[in-house]
Amino acid sequence: MKKKNSLKSLNSFGLDVYAEDFYSIENLNDLFKILKTNPPNLFILGGGTNILFTKDVDGIVLHINLKGVEILNENEKFSKVKVSAGENWHDFVLWSIERNLGGLENLSLIPGNVGTAPIQNIGAYGVELKDSFISCEAVNLLTLEIETFTKIECKFGYRDSIFKSEKKGEYIIISVTFKLTNKNHKIRTSYGDLKKQLEKNNIKYPTIKDISEAVTMIRKSKLPDPKILGNSGSFFKNPIIDKKTFSKIIKQFPNIPRYEVSNDEIKIPAGWLIEKAGFKGKKLKTCGVHENQALVLVNYGDATGNEILKLSELIQKSINTIFGVKLEREVNVV
């Protein structure tokens, strides 16, 4: 345990906040020992890539650093893989691709750890975590029992799950199990940027490795490295609106990009809305909107979480005024 531990290196915004008490959890014995001997004033920290600290953290911070990847079983078509919560997400994606295990390639280079991925139901380029998810193990903080949650029980939604809503703060995810393909991989290239990158790479019939490399190139070209410029990737969700609302917007903005979600719903890129509202590349004191990707808010060095939060609120207010669309934060604010 460390007293007054700085969390600056453990959050991708690089915000200089402190924890009253701090534990790095590397095995389940230590986890249960701490849970049994401490009050429930706990803050669970994973990869620190989807969080905005606006203050120091009272009580105990548990940094989940459990490691391990195991193939539970496999057959001609599929492999069932169990991954500990502290494994880096992108490293696990690369691990799967090296073994020709398909399903996660479109999710390459998403920051964070495996244990926090189900909470957010991470997604990119037409794929979401739930597409390959089987189950996860989580410790119930009230009973201290390990429970298993199936895909249905997780209640996955767009960047949402039961762990982010009705069960928020009640569980610690310790492992996630995936079903990955061994052959006949489902190659998904529906998103325009991905198609363009594959064409640029002169690839007509992409493999899962080609998809991963293309996605990685795209993300590197658009998203700043948190180690160089503090950020949490996409700060806002892409809004999903009804067609009636969309019909009003398209009259004023006929070139607005969109993706049909259902017969009644349309998804609009939040980055496009923010750019149209004039925020792309805008700098406010020590924070701002990234010059290459309007969906990314950045810390230029000495920003506070509250300064970044106020910028996000200004953007939300402007988008609602201009387009009549409410932007939701993807990032968790503490």
Q: For 169-180, how does the pLDDT look when each residue is reduced to its tens digit (9 = 90+)?
A: 899 999 999 999
| Domain match, 235 and 322 both | yes
pLDDT tier at 25, thresholds 50, 70, 90: very high
pLDDT digits (tens, 9 = 90+) for 83-120: 999 999 999 999 999 999 999 999 999 988 999 999 99
Domain boundary among 64, 93, 111: 64
Query: Are residue 237 and residue 324 in the same domain, yes or no?
Result: yes
Known catalytic residue: 98? no
What confidence score (pLDDT) does residue 7 get?
93
Q: Which region, left, alpha or beta, applies to residue 103 given φ > 0 means left and ψ of -120 to 50 means alpha?
A: left
3: pLDDT strictly greater than 90: no
Can you list the pairs that 89-98 forms with residues at least 24 positions away whose Cβ atoms lie under 8 Å?
89/47, 89/113, 89/114, 89/117, 89/122, 93/212, 94/212, 95/69, 96/180, 97/208, 97/209, 97/212
Note whether residue 200 is domain-resident. no
Whether 198 is in a domain gets the answer no
Q: Does residue 215 form part of some domain?
A: no
pLDDT of residue 321: 94
Name the domain boundary from 20, 48, 64.
64
Taking all residues of the chain, what is their mean pLDDT, rounded to a whole number? 91
Are 172 and 239 within one domain? no
* 99 and 8 within one domain: no
DSSP-based three-state secondary structure for 76: coil
pLDDT given at position 159: 87
Indicate whether 153 pLDDT > 90. Answer: yes
The least confident of 33-42, 189-198, 248-257 is 33-42
Q: Of the ranges 106-115, 238-247, 301-310, which one carries the lowest mean pLDDT score?
A: 238-247
User: Is residue 273, in this structure, part of any structural domain at all?
Assistant: yes
Q: Is there a single domain that holds both residue 239 and residue 271?
A: yes
Label residue 95 exposed, middle or buried (CB < 10 Å: 0-12, 13-18, 19+). Answer: middle
Shared domain check, 160 and 78 = yes
Do 325 and 252 lie in one domain? The reply is yes
Between 47 and 113, the more confident residue is 113
Catalytic residue check, 329: no
Q: What is the CATH number of the domain that holds 264?
A: 3.90.78.10
The answer to whether residue 148 scores a pLDDT higher than 50 is yes
- pLDDT per residue over 120-135, tens digit each? 999 989 899 999 999 9
- Residue of 79, 159, 213, 329 with catalytic role: 159
Question: What is the number of domains present in the chain?
Answer: 3
Average pLDDT over residues 12-41: 87
What separation in angstroms does the CA of 181 have from each of 79, 102, 225, 324? 6, 5, 30, 42
In terms of average pLDDT, the best of 34-43, 79-88, 158-167 is: 79-88
Asked if pLDDT for residue 16 goes beyond 70, the answer is: yes
- Catalytic residue status for 258: no
Q: What percent of the chain has pLDDT over 90?
A: 66
Instruction: Flag whether 162 is in a domain.
Output: yes
CATH number at residue 166: 3.30.465.10
The domain that holds 41 is classified in CATH as 3.30.43.10
> Which band of pLDDT confidence, cut at 50, 70 and 90, is reported for residue 49?
confident
Whether the pLDDT of residue 41 is over 90: the answer is: no
Cβ atoms of 298 and 287 closer than 8 Å: yes
pLDDT at 285 over 90: no
Assess whether pLDDT exceeds 90 at residue 5. no
Same domain, yes or no: 77 and 57: no
> What amino acid occupies position 189?
T
Query: Which domain range does residue 25 map to?
Result: 2-64
197 found inside a domain: no
User: Is 196 part of a structural domain of the chain?
Assistant: no
Residue 40: predicted pLDDT: 62
How many residues are present in the chain? 334
- pLDDT for 1 equals 45
Same domain, 45 and 29: yes
210 lies in a domain?
A: no
Which residue among the candidates 175, 234, 307, 312 is catalytic per the annotation?
A: 234
- 166 and 89 share one domain: yes
Question: Which of 64, 95, 111 finishes a domain?
Answer: 64
| 323 pLDDT above the threshold of 60 | yes
- Residues 76 and 153 placed together within one structural domain of the fold: yes
Give the residue among 103, 120, 111 at the shortest CA–CA distance from 212: 103
Same domain, 48 and 117: no
